[in-house]
């Protein structure tokens, strides 16, 4: 989660983790328009390039140097196994 870009998250900004979901779901239970950025990127200071780094920006933030997102796919083990057996 650290390196090339800071990860743009679905979570809205909260001052602490008190009350955060424990199941990994997005935390969007308030009216805050700021979104969480996690990790670090090539564009920030090296001391801030940590997976624990957390900051925020408005959802309409357009200055995008160093901000990106991760594509996540959920595969069951059987699906992954069957994908490896398919001929090209």
In a domain, 35, yes or no: yes
In a domain, 45, yes or no: yes
Encode pLDDT of 42-83 as tens digits.
777 877 777 788 888 887 776 667 777 766 666 666 655 555
In a domain, 1, yes or no: no
Higher-confidence residue of 42 and 1: namely 42
pLDDT in tens, 18-39: 999 999 899 998 888 898 888 8
Nearest partner of 9 among 22, 21, 27, 23, judged by Cα: 27
pTM recorded for the entire structure: 0.63
pLDDT of the residue at 23: 92
| The total number of structural domains that make up the chain | 1
Give dist(CA 30, CA 74) in Å, integer.
Answer: 27
């Amino acid at each position: 989660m650290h390196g090339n870009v800071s990860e743009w998250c679905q979570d809205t900004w909260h001052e602490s983790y008190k009350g955060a979901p424990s199941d990994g779901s997005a935390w969007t239970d308030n009216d805050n328009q700021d979104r969480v950025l996690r990790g670090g990127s090539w564009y920030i200071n090296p001391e801030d390039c940590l997976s624990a780094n957390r900051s925020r920006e408005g959802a309409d933030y357009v200055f995008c140097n160093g901000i990106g997102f991760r594509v996540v796919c959920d595969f069951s083990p059987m699906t992954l196994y069957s994908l490896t057996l398919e001929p090209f």
